Structure 1
Amino acid sequence: MENVIMQHQNNDAEKSDVPVIVIKDLHKAFGKNKVLKGVNLTVKKGENLVILGKSGSGKSITIKCIVGLIEVDEGEINVFGTDITKVDTDELNKTRVRIGFLFQNAALYDSMSVRDNLGFTLKRHEKDLSNDEVEQQIGEILESVGLAEAIDKMPSELSGGMRKRIGLARTLILKPEIILYDEPTTGLDTITSREISELVVEIQKKYKTTSIIITHDMACAKFTSNRLMILRDGIIYAEGTYDELEKTDDKWVRSFFL
């Protein structure tokens, strides 16, 4: 039964035709290394878009540009209808609050318990909450990622999969409308990777999130995606559903599915 679950493709999201992220002609170079050479993509509300590509193709650079962690050289990045490449810091921060970013290593504060990691994040953005309200929200979000019992643990006491879940809980506690996942299953065993992939889809359905997922894990890509894009030579080389790209005549694209 587990193998059948892994073969599932995520086609059940409540998507709409409303674009939430629109990137036009995005360019980014580091010195003489031109990483992005005109990336164009659109992500619709409620959609999970998976971006594939060989190492160094610019996948992570693309999503870091979306939250302004990396300054673009050229192009537009429209998020919720605002071009974030043209706004000041205050406007950028207003947009960032609506976006969750799950880093590869979960980026937890090692000196804080799970409770304090989540509470610190929440209190920074919701200063008027009482202690009881903070505790309630922490408990609810830990329940949603299946780790209510880990509330008093330190990050060093957590497995890799648990750290990913807590990192996701810390992202979710701010109720983001967009979540950017950077290699959510990297370094995890097959079973734990499947559990994280299932959680990504559960979150999409429960919280109506729109997501971009960067991954090398094709099982994760198949399970979580509504649509895939493949980066090559700094541009979007191919686009379609998992099934469409798996059956393409293009040998380079098919190499991802072997």
Structure 2
Amino acid sequence: MIQEKTNIDADKTTIKNAPIIEIKDLHKAFGDNEVLKGVNLSVNKGENLVVLGKSGSGKSITIKCIIGLVMADKGEINVFDTDITKIDAKELNEIRVRIGFLFQNAALYDSMSVRENLSFTLRRHVSGLSKEELQNEISEVLENVGLADAIDKMPSELSGGMRKRVGLARTLILKPEIILYDEPTTGLDTITSREISELILDLQKKNKTSSIIITHDMACAKHTGDRIIILKDGIIHAEGSYESLEKSNDEWVRSFFI
């Protein structure tokens, strides 16, 4: 693996602590297709880690393994100091509640309003909330993503950027400590993509979240990433800051930044 010298701003360096996610020698194959061939990575508390790689390089599979949507063939996946490959379904669900996952398409329930989408998620995981408490939580999280006025709209009435924000609100309503973003700006125009990137940074600062951000959007990678890793042939090929990787001696690494 190419280890590029990092050049991370001092204020970003201060957030580095013990890893909140640590993956060791992760392997995953689908039949004869070996996607992950020994991935090793860590995410520090309060850090935004960006993952780059060509299509099919295993980026999405890696984060799906972190929450047990895909089971690893081999390796350790330590989240909150617990190896999720060695725990039962009950323990895994307890960890999942502490992790937010933003899917590419926001994955909203089309038959439910924004309010109902958020209410369904909160009621499913948090018991004993009064109607007033429920509505206060929903209003607060929509305010945080700038969509307070969309509370009674249906998903079909929302733009792509608004759907992403609602999907993020649904993730945030459970107050996760970790957020996994799968292509958060895909399909959005430049201005909306920038707004989503700004929102990711705001959440990092306000909620002290730790995040993995999978993206093909280099503007998003540059804006949100404290550190970047690049997957190639099932392993991490390069790691460093945006600035150091952009100036890499490796022509393949530099090709991402052209």
TM over 0.5: yes
**1:10 and 1:225 in contact (8 A); partners too:** no
How is 1:103-252 mapped onto 2 (pairs within 5 angstroms)? 103-252=103-252
The letter of the residue matching 2:216 is: H
Secondary structure at the residue paired with 1:36? strand
Residue 6 of structure 1: aligned partner: none
Secondary structure at the residue paired with 2:111? coil
Residue 3 of structure 2: aligned partner: none
Poorly superposed stretches of 4+, deviation over 6 Å: none
Q: CA, structure 1 residues 202+154, in 2 after alignment: closer, same or farther (shift >3 Å)?
A: same
| 2:82 paired with 1:82 | yes
5+ long unaligned stretches in structure 1: 1-8
Residue 4 of structure 2: aligned partner: none
The letter of the residue matching 1:180 is: L
Secondary structure at the residue paired with 2:104? coil
**1:100 and 1:180 in contact (8 A); partners too:** yes
Secondary structure at the residue paired with 1:42? strand
5+ long unaligned stretches in structure 2: 1-7
CA distance, structure 2, for counterparts of residue 11 and residue 47 of structure 1: 13
| 2:64 paired with 1:64 | yes
Residue 242 of structure 1: CA displacement?
Answer: 0.4
CA distance, structure 2, for counterparts of residue 22 and residue 130 of structure 1: 38
Secondary structure at the residue paired with 1:197? helix
CA distance, structure 1, for counterparts of residue 82 and residue 141 of structure 2: 29
User: Percent identity, aligned pairs only?
Assistant: 74
The letter of the residue matching 1:152 is: D
Secondary structure at the residue paired with 2:52? strand
CA distance, structure 1, for counterparts of residue 217 and residue 10 of structure 2: 18
Residue 45 of structure 1: aligned partner: 45
**1:15 and 1:45 in contact (8 A); partners too:** yes
The letter of the residue matching 2:221 is: A
Secondary structure at the residue paired with 1:176? coil
Residue 127 of structure 1: CA displacement?
Answer: 1.2
Residue 11 of structure 1: CA displacement?
Answer: 6.9
Structure 1 residues 203-223: Cα deviation after superposition (integer angstroms, max 9, x where no partner): 110110000000000000000
**1:11 and 1:226 in contact (8 A); partners too:** no
**1:20 and 1:79 in contact (8 A); partners too:** yes
Q: CA, structure 1 residues 177+241, in 2 after alignment: closer, same or farther (shift >3 Å)?
A: same
Structure 1 residues 126-148: Cα deviation after superposition (integer angstroms, max 9, x where no partner): 11100000000100000000000
Residue 91 of structure 2: aligned partner: 91
Q: CA, structure 1 residues 195+249, in 2 after alignment: closer, same or farther (shift >3 Å)?
A: same
Secondary structure at the residue paired with 1:41? strand
CA distance, structure 2, for counterparts of residue 17 and residue 174 of structure 1: 24
Residue 18 of structure 1: CA displacement?
Answer: 1.5
Secondary structure at the residue paired with 2:146? coil
Residue 253 of structure 1: aligned partner: 253
Secondary structure at the residue paired with 1:119? helix
Structure 1 residues 11-53: Cα deviation after superposition (integer angstroms, max 9, x where no partner): 7456132210000000000000000000000100000000000
| 2:19 paired with 1:22 | no
User: What number of residue pairs does the alignment pair up?
Assistant: 250
